[in-house]
Chain A
Amino acid sequence: MKYLLCWVTLLALLTLPGFAQAHKQSDSYLSITLNAGSSQLQGQWDIALRDLDFVIGLDANADDRITWGEVKAQRAAIESYALGHLRLASMQGDRRDDCALQAQQMLIDEHVDGAYAVLRFSASCHAAPRQLAIDYALLFAVDPNHRGLLDLRTDSFTQAAVLSMETPSIALDARSKNPWQQLRSFVVEGIWHIWQGYDHILFLFTLLLPAVVLYRDGRWQPRASLRESSTDILKVVTAFTLAHSLTLSLAALGFVHAPSWLVESAIALTVLLGALNILFPVVRERRWLVALCFGLIHGLGFASVLADLGLQPGGLLQALVGFNIGVEIGQLGIVAVLMPASYVLRGTVFYRRLVLPGGAAAIGCLALYWIGLRAFP
């Protein structure tokens, strides 16, 4: 029996993985501010009093309470411990110049998991850094899961990074270039989404295919001029853009919320209705109105994609603008391919008897299939 007890005690230790990780793990918050053209950097470093107590011993009277007096008494030790575990260096090509760190002020702040010492310090580098190298080693010796959450701020942008025992060093670009890279990546995402999301393309098709023709006397007839067709296309594309930009923004900013299965089903429905409108024209002249109304729904669909990309609160506007621009570029690309071809073919029987009704029927069937798939999984 003794045998049993010893090992079952171990079992108890094993069955609690979820609870062993209940509290928050140890983090510090390091924020470094750069001023354009200056070799002087400002730093603020928030370190949990608990962690400092474990490595330095703050609770002098051993009453399990850390008072401001006890923290103040250890100020020199705290500052030398902290700054001794951080290196900042200005990088110029292969050249590396360490910056001199100087403690300035100690304050207190509250975070979600308790009180932190706030160390303010300055860093004097040899020149205004183009690239800033950061080597972080705080607490790793006693807590290999400790992380340093770094914010590098310039007057125009903030870069974030997580420093851990696995990646204790990082070099960040200290000049304002990254916001454009980030914007560009969202533009690319937007283009991709339009091209990969067949439902958006097909919806546009149902509005653009009939743009080069007119429904008159019970059948489709070619429009007379390129100008007429272009105007129609311009109206449709503009209305669609306005509408989906509106709902995309509202949803991304958190004002509107709709379950994604509902949005996806509704988008499929708009494709079906668009296709039916070619086969049995109801809205003949003002298709831009259809684009406007249904565009609102497509915007909600874009928003869920944007949300999946993972947004930082500070970068929301950038993401929104970038993604929207990408969607427009993708859309214009489709128009650029579709319009010349349909304009040239508009007079042919092939286009009016085969492409239009056949295409609409195929799109409609596909939309029906999507509705079934999305609304009734």
Chain B
Amino acid sequence: MPQASRWRIGRFVAAFTALAIATASHAAPYVPQDDGAVLGLVPAGALLRQFQPLRRAVAANPDDVNAVLRLSKAYLDLGRRNGDPRFVSYAQATLAPWVQRTDAPAAALVLGAIVLQSSHRFDASLAMLERALHSDPANAQALLTKATVLQVRGNFSAARKTCAQLTASAGQLIAIACLASANSMNGKLPESYRLLDQVFTDDARLPTDVRSWMRGQLGEMSVRLGADARAEQHFKAALQADPDDLYIKGVYADLLLVQHRAQEAIALLQNNEAQDALLLRLAIAEAAIKTGHRWADMYGARFEAARRDGDKTHLREQARFALEVRGDTQQALTLARQNWQIQREPADVRIYARAAKAARNKDAINEIDTWIRTTGYQDQTPGIVNASLTARALP
């Protein structure tokens, strides 16, 4: 008899309830009774109104490349601050007529490449960067973007070569930061941390973005080095500089979750339900302290919406949701494996390794094990290093 099968009535009931709620909320369109009824908010409304003159200028004169570049840059920045893909899409639409031209300026192509990268179309992004570098071989922005995309793809040696080309056009310091980032994935984590730590001196006079980025890099490297307390110092310092940095909030929450500090993770993220990646951490925290499944239901509904429209940019988060909230090891592995084909950042290594082990899938374990051995990837996070997955020993 299948003593194997575990009955999960509770889970079924929960899923059914979620489905019923989701259906109910779609079931009945209505006519609001009151003209003053507020139906929704306009995100970043004030900023969008500021862009209006620029938007009109672009509409009136599509050949005004400076206006096009300014507007698309503004949209991209807004997309980054709010974690909202619509703004990135607006940048893409603004740039579209320009990047199609054979005489497209390098600056437009680089912005176009950043748009493609943020929707995980990495190969298309690299192709557009090659076009930019063809017309302007020393374009620092293009080189830096290229190095980043190559690194996300796991092509560290090509990333390093690109970083080296930066020395001439962007100066030594940029090239060093670029190299440290690539090397940290490639067997030189402690050295890269020390190097980055030496070139960076935190100072309130520095631009916030720079401080956040440096602190984020240092913090993430510390996590991988197993230096949790130091990592926390970096994340806290970054949030002091910019309390709304979504990226830092995400990696800091992950650290808290690994340390079983779910309550603190919830306190950190409770106003970030709108950002799927942070909502995911809330759902994980909620599951860890068993206080219900409100956030899990919310994330589940967005998961389903993304599945329906074929959106593949959330595979990493979806795999974590499957594994850490739903306990569905098979689905987690399927998603993590798809994600692995697209990107190979530390978070992608971790979810693939964990899902492979949870599903006891020999092929997947072998694949990630081989990758870790050949790249020299180092990571002390629980779940990566054990008997079957041997990361390089750290000093």
Option from B32, B49, B96 in Cβ contact (under 8 Å) with A108: B32
The verdict on A13 contacting B77 (CB below 8 Å), with A8-B174, A260-B359 known, is: yes
> Contact at B93–A142, with CB atoms within 8 Å?
yes
Check A49 for interface membership: any CB of B closer than 8 A: yes
Which residues of chain B are near A62, meaning CB under 8 Å?
Answer: 45, 49
Whether a CB of chain A sits under 8 angstroms from the CB of B92 is yes
Query: Which of A8, A9, A69, A109 is packed against the most chain B CB atoms within 10 Å?
Result: A8
Contact B39 A146 (CB under 8 A): no
Q: Do residues A144 and B86 form an inter-chain contact, with CB atoms below 8 A?
A: no
Give the size of the chain A interface in residues (CB under 8 angstroms).
Answer: 82
The B169-197 residues at the A interface (CB cut-off 8 A) are 170-171, 173-174, 177-178
B41 adjacent to chain A (CB < 8 Å): yes
A14-B117, A23-B83, A143-B86 as given contacts; A7 in contact with B40, CB under 8 Å:
no
Cα distance A23–B96 in the bound complex, in angstroms = 22
Which of B258-266, B309-317, B372-380 makes up part of the contact surface?
B309-317
Determine how close the nearest CB of chain B comes to the CB of A2; give it in whole angstroms.
Answer: 10
**A146 to chain B: which residues have CB within 8 Å?**
89
Contact in complex: A16, B274 (CB < 8 Å)? no
> In whole angstroms, what is the CA distance A145 to B87 when docked?
11
- Nearest A residue (CB) for B358: A259
- A contact residues around B36 at 8 Å (CB): 67-69
B275 near A109 with CB under 8 A, answer no
The stretch of A179-187, A202-210, A211-219, A261-269 that contacts the partner chain = A261-269
Contacts of A113 in B (CB 8 A): 302, 305
Of residues 230 through 274 on chain A, the ones whose CB sits less than 8 Å from some CB of chain B are 247, 251, 254-263, 266
A18 near B347 with CB under 8 A, answer yes
**Residues of chain B within 8 A of A293, CB atoms compared:** 1
B226 in contact (CB, < 8 A): no
The answer to whether B145 has its CB under 8 Å from any CB of chain A is: yes
Contact B93 A144, beta carbon cutoff 8 Å: yes
Known: A21-B83, A66-B40. 10 other contacts (CB 8 A): A13-B114, A23-B83, A23-B84, A49-B40, A59-B45, A64-B42, A69-B36, A257-B8, A259-B359, A262-B4
Please list 29 pairs of residues, one from A and one from B, whose beta carbons are closer than 8 Å in the complex, sorted by A's number: A3-B170, A9-B207, A11-B213, A13-B114, A15-B216, A18-B277, A19-B277, A20-B85, A20-B118, A21-B118, A22-B83, A22-B276, A22-B277, A22-B278, A25-B86, A51-B86, A62-B49, A112-B298, A114-B40, A115-B40, A143-B90, A145-B88, A149-B309, A162-B308, A162-B309, A255-B9, A257-B7, A261-B361, A308-B334
Q: Which residues of B contact A (CB under 8 A)?
A: 1-2, 4-9, 11-12, 15, 22, 25-26, 28-32, 34-43, 45-46, 48-49, 76-77, 79-80, 82-86, 88-90, 92-93, 96, 114, 117-120, 140-141, 144-145, 148, 152, 170-171, 173-174, 177-178, 206-207, 209-210, 212-214, 216-217, 246-247, 250, 274-278, 298, 301-302, 305-306, 308-311, 313-314, 316-317, 329-330, 334, 343, 347, 359-362, 365
